[in-house]
Amino acid sequence: MEPGQLGLSALAAACREETNKFLRREAFTDSFCFELFRRAICDQVQPAWETILSQYRGMVLAWVRRHPAGATTGEEDDYWVNRTFERFWRAVEPEHFGSFRGVADLLTYLKTCAHSVLLDEVRARKAAQVETLPESGEEGEDPPDARAVALGGLVGRELWAAIMREVQDEGERTVTYLSFALDLKPQEIQERHPSLYPAVADVYRIKRNVIDRLRRSAAIRDFLG
């Protein structure tokens, strides 16, 4: 039976079975899992979304734990799972679902969301550290608010400089800047620069490669402490 003709419980069971086949390195199809994502995103079927959360929770946690920032945050597992899927849900709009060619593309972007929320957490904690600096009361010193702003900017520039040293060409620099500095979606990046990225999938691929390189970078790990 075609995936679109199945009820939700049968569809979820078929998705799990095909995923298990993939893990056993057997022949599989991703059509059932792709239909599950389609119902959650395009039809906004809440039980389909809950099934996806259950199905891919472990995968998200594995990505978080392998990221250099994952071990430094001290947050509970559900915190990262919820934030990752919230980011994914906001970013993947129904009208852009067709740009994904299959479940592999969707999971690639889900992984990008997991890494993005970790980087956001690093930035937020650096800013919080700056805001808690004590006042010295010395005459002529910047007021605490001004000092916090200045040091917060310095932290951001240092992190950004470390990230920029890891990118390799114009395509990576553009994706990195527009994704992390301007928070643009892959579809928006592709529409702005079609000569660099003929398809939205190119943006996803480049962003994934950059984030994987940042995860392996000794300089980034040093920055994160």
Q: What is the pLDDT of residues 119-164, one digit of tens each?
A: 777 766 666 554 444 444 444 444 444 444 333 443 456 666 777 7
Give me 216's structure tokens: 């392996």
Transcribe 46-96 into DSSP letters: HHHHHHHHHHHHHHHHHHHHHSTTGGGS---HHHHHHHHHHHHHHHS-GGG
Q: What is the pLDDT of residues 184-215, one digit of tens each?
A: 788 889 988 888 899 989 999 998 888 888 77
pTM here is 0.58
Instruction: Give the span between the Cα atoms of 11 and 155, in whole angstroms.
Output: 47
Predicted confidence at residue 132, as pLDDT, reads 47
Instruction: Give the span between the Cα atoms of 212 and 161, in whole angstroms.
Output: 17
Is residue 45 within 8 A of residue 5, CB to CB? The reply is no
Q: Report which DSSP code applies to 98.
A: G
**Overall residue count recorded for the chain in this entry:** 225
pLDDT at 11 over 90: yes
Transcribe 144-212 into DSSP letters: HHHHHHHHHHHHHHHHHHHHHTT--SHHHHHHHIIIIIS---HHHHHHH-TTT-SSHHHHHHHHHHHHH
Q: What is the pLDDT of residues 161-183, one digit of tens each?
A: 777 788 888 889 888 888 876 67
Average pLDDT over residues 9-23: 90
